[in-house]
């Protein structure tokens, strides 16, 4: 079984501090991962529902003032070289969103025009920086809507990693079906486990995560990291996990390695629905209902 790393770069501090630290760590252990970037303004100071942003508490004071007392910086403009370094190091890259605040506030109930406009902002910003269009994405906050599924198919994305679930599938939402495969996050995050309290703490959280990753799944496990959390505050915890995960039969791989021609042809259709089973909060997730 293999394990994929889905790295979300949500903010400027994540790009400037978290990304270089992660690249150094991955280089040390000869690991390749998949990085997904927010490409637009960093408006961390204006974010609502901060409890759903596990990395917010880890931001420096200056970042918490972006959009309030400090003009929001553009992540791509201010940290473009940092993002380009990810691809130069051989890691997979894609998009997360453009303006994270607008995305989280508006996407779930947005119409087609709004969804297209916001998605193309991210696509265009990525293309301007990298010189080619993105071929994958991981929607910020595990959010989606039927229009996004259609647009991912229209744009020819190889895959998306927008939801939580147990195996790769072809998505169906509100009677809208897409041929763009979903590679769901299968594991809880460090932040989620630590919020549970009880016996789980910083000293043993990696052991709980590793135990969860031992459950056999059809396509392996995908773990979602934030550059602001695992890349800065909990870099040592991530390193402990990497040491343990490297011993998996197929090791740690970027997300595109989860789909070859054979298992693409065998993907089943699944409904997407609201769920709070992993976090206690509302994220998009796959339901167990399967469409034949």
What is the DSSP-derived secondary structure letter of residue 98? S
Which tokens belong to 123?
């696509």
Residue 82 inside a domain? The answer is yes
- On the 0-12 / 13-18 / 19+ scale of CB atoms within 10 A, 36 is buried
pLDDT of residue 278: 47
Determine what percent of the chain is predicted with pLDDT higher than 70: 84
As a whole number, mean pLDDT of residues 228-254 equals: 93
Residue 183 inside a domain? The answer is yes
How many structural domains is the chain composed of? 1
253 three-state secondary structure: strand
Determine what percent of the chain is predicted with pLDDT higher than 90: 67
Which tokens belong to 166?
């147990």
- List, in order, residues 6 or more apart from 215 with CB less than 8 Å away: none
Q: At what angle do helices 75-88 and 112-130 cross, to 10 degrees?
A: 60
d(CA 54, CA 56): 6
Residue 205 inside a domain? The answer is no
pLDDT of residue 89: 98
pLDDT of residue 117: 98
Residue whose structure tokens are 């790295």: 7
Q: Comparing 186 with 262, which gets the higher pLDDT? A: 186
The answer, yes or no, to whether residue 241 has pLDDT greater than 60, is yes
273 close to 287: Cβ distance less than 8 angstroms = yes
Residue 155 inside a domain? The answer is yes
92 close to 256: Cβ distance less than 8 angstroms = yes
pLDDT in tens, 31-61: 999 999 999 988 665 554 544 556 556 666 5
CATH number at residue 7: 3.20.20.370
Residue 192 inside a domain? The answer is no
d(CA 5, CA 33): 5
Residue 105 inside a domain? The answer is yes
Residue 206 inside a domain? The answer is no
Domain that holds residue 271: 3-187+215-235+243-291
d(CA 140, CA 104): 7
The answer, yes or no, to whether residue 115 has pLDDT greater than 60, is yes
Buried b (16+ CB within 10 A) or exposed e, 204-233: ebbebbbeebeeebebbbbbbbbbbbbbbb
As a whole number, mean pLDDT of residues 15-27 equals: 97
Q: Comparing 44 with 183, which gets the higher pLDDT? A: 183
d(CA 161, CA 31): 20
140 close to 103: Cβ distance less than 8 angstroms = yes
Q: At what angle do helices 146-154 and 112-130 cross, to 10 degrees?
A: 40
Residue 7 inside a domain? The answer is yes
d(CA 22, CA 48): 27
d(CA 197, CA 175): 39
pLDDT of residue 263: 78
97 close to 47: Cβ distance less than 8 angstroms = no
Its pTM stands at: 0.90
pLDDT of residue 273: 84
pLDDT in tens, 52-94: 556 556 666 555 555 555 667 789 899 999 999 999 999 999 9
Q: Comparing 287 with 80, which gets the higher pLDDT? A: 80
The answer, yes or no, to whether residue 17 has pLDDT greater than 90, is yes
How big is the chain, counted in residues?
A: 292
Please give the sequence-ordered ranges of beta strands (E in DSSP) within 116-265, or none if there are none.
136-137, 159-160, 170-173, 176-177, 221-226, 252-253
Of 49-53, 150-154, 161-165, 215-219, least confident by mean pLDDT is: 49-53
């Amino acid at each position: 079984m293999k394990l994929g790393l889905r790295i979300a770069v949500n903010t400027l501090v994540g790009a400037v501090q978290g990304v270089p630290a992660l690249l150094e760590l991955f280089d040390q252990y000869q690991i390749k991962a998949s990085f997904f970037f927010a490409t637009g303004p960093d408006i961390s100071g204006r974010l609502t529902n901060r409890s759903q942003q596990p990395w917010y508490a880890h931001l420096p004071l200056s970042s918490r003032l972006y959009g309030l007392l400090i003009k929001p910086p553009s992540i791509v403009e201010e940290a473009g070289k940092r993002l380009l370094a990810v691809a130069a190091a051989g890691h997979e890259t894609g998009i997360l969103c453009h303006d994270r605040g607008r995305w989280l506030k508006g996407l779930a109930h947005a119409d087609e025009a709004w969804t297209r406009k916001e998605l193309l902002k991210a696509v265009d910003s990525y293309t301007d920086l990298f010189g080619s269009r993105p071929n994958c994405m991981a929607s910020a906050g595990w959010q989606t809507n039927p229009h996004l599924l259609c647009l991912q198919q229209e744009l020819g994305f190889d895959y998306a990693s927008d939801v939580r679930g147990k195996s790769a599938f072809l998505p169906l939402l509100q009677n809208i079906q897409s041929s763009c495969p979903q590679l769901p996050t299968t594991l809880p995050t460090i932040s989620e486990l630590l919020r549970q309290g009880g016996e789980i703490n910083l000293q043993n959280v990696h052991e709980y995560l590793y135990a969860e990753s031992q459950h056999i799944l059809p396509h392996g496990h995908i773990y979602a990291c934030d550059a602001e959390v695992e890349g800065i505050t909990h870099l040592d915890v991530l390193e402990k996990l990497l040491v343990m995960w490297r011993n998996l039969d197929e090791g740690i791989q970027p997300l595109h390695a989860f789909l070859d021609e054979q298992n693409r042809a065998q993907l089943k259709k699944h409904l997407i629905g609201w769920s709070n089973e992993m976090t206690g909060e509302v994220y998009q997730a796959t339901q167990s209902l399967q469409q034949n």
